Homo-oligomer: A and B are copies of this chain.
Amino acid sequence: VKKEDLQPLKGFRDELPAERIPKQAMLGTIARVFESYGFAPLDSPALERASVLVGKYGEEGDRLLYRFRDHGDRDVALRYDLTVPLARVIGSHPELTMPFKRYQIGKVWRAERPARGRFREFMQCDVDILGAGSLLADCECLQVICSVLEALGVGAFRVEVNNRKLLNALLAHFAISGRDRVHASLRILDKLGKIPAEDVRDLLVSEVRWTPENAAGFMDCVTGGLGEAKARLPADDPGLAELEQLLELAELAGIRERVHVNLSIARGLDYYTGTIYETFLTELPGFGSVMSGGRYDDLLKHIAGRDLPAIGVSLGISRLFAGLHELGLVAPAASPARVMVASYGAETARETLACAKALRDAGLPTDSFPGDAKLGKQFKHAHRLGVDVVCIIGPEEAEQGLVRVKVLSSGDQRDVPAAGIADEVNRALEKSGATGIESG
């Protein structure tokens, strides 16, 4: 293989242990939170019939599909997200009990132009509740968002909610109707935050033929509070009612202080039908939404032929991980091991192997150096892996039933009875304070 061909394909990445270890820890925390709410894991193929995917993501999406002919000359494509495949799964498994709560963590593929933080292969992480039209489901999605971010310890955050029915009513109030004009307007509104409000207003005028007055009024309204909308809509507007009931449920669920109405949240995708939300980390202003989603009551009918209400949350895994990084919450580590047992040669192999086993049995991930290098080289290896405590058993220690426990960072070492080795290593780890390769 040629040297340049050893690099991953453009837009693809190798994830080495230093990144993969903390990311797996994050994903494990997220999955635990999902399961604590009773969401069940599901897996579906990476490859789907093109007919299932094409036309679901707009023209741009169709162009970005990795699509090819398989050995049976079938038109197939790598999945573009996890939502459309979920709808297909629901369609082919009528035996699934509704309401159905599932989560899925998996890779998706899009032939985008690579850019900083944008890849052609990336991980998605979704929870969805299918077959439940109640606002209890909407509230549960907000609860899940809060529980995930609390479990990850990201500090303060804001879940910003809106409602598509309410947005539609406001658009109607400002004389915008018809599917195309509504969707075009919402896609422009979705740019708010990335471009200034005046530019959004101007785009509404130039691209969707709003009157300047209405565009200005609409922008004032959606960037104002709930009162602005109430002043313009009838008291019994259904979107307004849903949003207010959702806030009430959030109050009952004890998460009201996390939830903020933001009438300018639009979510670009066409398929949303009710509650929509995005989530921002207070400590990282301008960082973008890390968890978002909403209600999409018509998509399942369209794809799976089943009339099932649905709501979901999608986590931006890469962005969330980058956020944890910026907040100093990621401890890189080149190895899951916390301690290494050095190799001292055949003479003490039995004691060395027994020492490693005792440490593992005590729950301490333990590397054994698999060779016969000089001790200095082995210490250097441990240090590079971010392992600060090393156990050594030479012939003298073996004879006396001892193990030498060495803390690399301080140079401290003591000989301790082999019988109590796990306790001793735990003590050494506490003293060392080493938490990963940062300490090196």
Show the binding face of A for B, using Cβ within 8 Å: 1-3, 5-10, 12-17, 20-21, 24, 35-49, 51-52, 66, 68-72, 74, 76, 78, 88-89, 91-93, 96-97, 99, 101-102, 107, 109, 111, 121, 129, 132-134, 136-137, 139-140, 147, 249, 252-254, 303-305, 334-337, 340, 343, 349-350, 353-354, 357, 360, 363, 365-372, 381, 384-385
CB-based contact A15/B35 at 8 Å: no
B residues less than 8 Å from A129 (CB atoms): 370
B residues less than 8 Å from A254 (CB atoms): 353-354, 357
CB-contact partner of A367 in B101, B381, B384, under 8 A: B101
CB-based contact A365/B38 at 8 Å: yes
CB-based contact B17/A109 at 8 Å: no
B residues less than 8 Å from A367 (CB atoms): 37-38, 101
CB-based contact B70/A137 at 8 Å: no
* CB of A193 to closest CB in B, whole Å: 30
Q: How far is the CA of A44 from the CA of B12 in the complex (A)?
A: 8
Additional A-B contacts beyond A9-B70, A99-B381, A252-B353 (8; CB < 8 A):
A14-B93, A20-B41, A38-B340, A66-B68, A97-B334, A129-B370, A136-B371, A136-B372
Q: How far is the CA of A263 from the CA of B71 in the complex (A)?
A: 39
CB-based contact B97/A381 at 8 Å: yes
CB-based contact A37/B304 at 8 Å: no
Instruction: Take A37-B368, A134-B371 as given contacts and tell me if A14 and B340 are in contact as well, using a CB distance cutoff of 8 Å.
Output: no
CB-contact partner of A7 in B92, B111, B140, B334, under 8 A: B92
CB-based contact A137/B305 at 8 Å: no
27 CB-based A-B contacts, threshold 8 Å: A6-B52, A9-B76, A15-B43, A15-B44, A16-B93, A17-B41, A17-B102, A20-B41, A20-B43, A21-B40, A36-B363, A38-B368, A38-B385, A39-B336, A46-B78, A46-B107, A47-B66, A97-B381, A97-B384, A99-B381, A101-B367, A101-B370, A132-B371, A134-B371, A136-B349, A136-B369, A140-B368
CB-based contact A9/B121 at 8 Å: no
Q: How far is the CA of A275 from the CA of B370 in the complex (A)?
A: 15
* CB of A393 to closest CB in B, whole Å: 12
Greatest chain B CB density within 10 A among A16, A68, A132 is at: A16
Q: Which residue of B lies closest to A67 (CB)?
A: B68
B residues less than 8 Å from A16 (CB atoms): 42, 89, 93, 96
Leading 7 A-B pairs by shortest Cβ distance: A38-B367, A38-B337, A17-B40, A68-B68, A15-B43, A6-B91, A12-B45
B residues less than 8 Å from A91 (CB atoms): 1, 3, 6
* CB of A285 to closest CB in B, whole Å: 29
Instruction: Take A92-B14, A385-B97 as given contacts and tell me if A48 and B102 are in contact as well, using a CB distance cutoff of 8 Å.
Output: no
Instruction: Take A42-B14, A43-B20, A47-B121 as given contacts and tell me if A137 and B371 are in contact as well, using a CB distance cutoff of 8 Å.
Output: yes
Q: Which residue of B lies closest to A71 (CB)?
A: B111
Q: Which residue of B lies closest to A136 (CB)?
A: B370
Greatest chain B CB density within 10 A among A74, A107, A136, A365 is at: A136
Instruction: Take A304-B6, A368-B37 as given contacts and tell me if A13 and B249 are in contact as well, using a CB distance cutoff of 8 Å.
Output: no
Q: Which residue of B lies closest to A250 (CB)?
A: B353
CB-based contact B71/A43 at 8 Å: no
Q: How far is the CA of A41 from the CA of B335 in the complex (A)?
A: 8
CB-contact partner of A249 in B9, B48, B132, B349, under 8 A: B349
* CB of A440 to closest CB in B, whole Å: 11
Q: How far is the CA of A304 from the CA of B35 in the complex (A)?
A: 41
* CB of A224 to closest CB in B, whole Å: 29
Q: How far is the CA of A304 from the CA of B14 in the complex (A)?
A: 15
* CB of A80 to closest CB in B, whole Å: 14
CB-contact partner of A1 in B51, B107, B336, under 8 A: B51
Q: How far is the CA of A24 from the CA of B8 in the complex (A)?
A: 28
B residues less than 8 Å from A349 (CB atoms): 136, 249, 252
